[in-house]
Amino acid sequence: WQYSFNAAYTLRATLLLQIRLNAGYSMKKQELIESRISVNRLKSDLIDLVLVIFSIMAIPSLAGSLFRIPLLGFLPVMMAHIVLVLVLCSITLFRKRLSLNFRSIFLITFYLAVGFLGLWNFGFSGNGVIVLLTAIIFSTVIFNQRVGAIILIILVGYILILSSLVLSGHIQFQMDIEEYAYAGTAWFTFLTSFLFFSIVLIVVLGRFNKFFYNMVENLEEHVATSTRKLTKASQAKSEFLANMSH
């Protein structure tokens, strides 16, 4: 009878320990799901914020581009700039109805389009390099390193092709580079673009840094709490087995 009682008690204690371990595993799995949801929510909020900032800053940026008409004339890139701004404002207005992936891809495509057009029409005298560098950083943050590396390879190929076409004389810039370098409107456009993309990077990277710093702190606290609980459970099991052996 005593042996049956001890065996039943041992089985009960083992089952309780297993239930606690399974409950801890379920909690960890749920926390991982919640963390992933939180990361996606952070990305969605940041993309919406960047879209709004883009739309607000796109107006003076477009104005700065159009101010160069007396100096350069009306270039095709300016018409493309107008179209891009209209599309950007439309996406921003209806952003709540669009998926996270769609908004992310549109934003990176927007960066690339502006950068491609800038390099094609102004070479290194324009703001194309700044925009394309921002596209690489943003794609890496929003997606992953592989996407960032793929975009980098595409951009390197584009720059090599463009440089070969310029050096061979197949493409000629439609303005005097020296005169453009001393134009006040050119410096105003560069300063506006530099401030804009710098602010976007500071906001995005700052928010991500704060989010993951808090996540690491919470994870360390959770690990410490789980370790204490497992230590107590292990001690209780050891004491129970020691009492059973006696």
The percent helix, strand, coil of the chain (3-state, each to 5) is: 90, 0, 10
Write down the mean pLDDT value for the chain. Answer: 75
Question: Half-sphere exposure of 120 toward its Cβ, with a 13 Å CA cutoff?
Answer: 13
Model pLDDT, residue 6: 45
How distant is the alpha carbon of residue 154 from its chain centre?
19
Q: How far apart are CA 22 and CA 16, in angstroms?
A: 10
Residue given tokens 């230590």 in the structure block = 231
- Whether the per-residue pLDDT at 233 is higher than 70: the answer is no
* DSSP conformation class of 124: G
Position 5 scores a pLDDT of 39
The predicted pLDDT at position 107 comes to: 87
Count CB-CB contacts under 10 A for residue 201. Answer: 16
Say yes or no to pLDDT of 126 above 80.
no
In whole angstroms, what is the distance from residue 221 CA to residue 215 CA?
Answer: 10
Rounded mean pLDDT, 127-131: 82
DSSP state of 2: H
Task: Give the tokens for residue 202.
Answer: 């500071």
- Asked whether 183 and 175 are in contact (CB, 8 A), the reply is no
What sign for the dihedral angle of Cα 104, 40, 216, 144? negative
Query: pLDDT tens digits for 39-75?
Result: 778 888 888 888 888 788 777 777 777 776 776 677 7
On the 0-12 / 13-18 / 19+ scale of CB atoms within 10 A, 152 is middle
- Nearest residue to 118 (alpha-carbon basis) of 78, 145, 91, 167: 78
Nearest alpha-carbon partner for 141 in 133, 218, 31, 157: 133
Token pair listed for 230? 């497992």
Give the position of tokens 């700065």. 64
Euclidean distance between CA atoms 17 and 149, whole angstroms:
47
146-184: pLDDT as tens digits:
999 999 999 999 989 988 988 888 877 766 666 767 777
| Least confident range of 91-95, 99-103, 184-188, 224-228 | 224-228
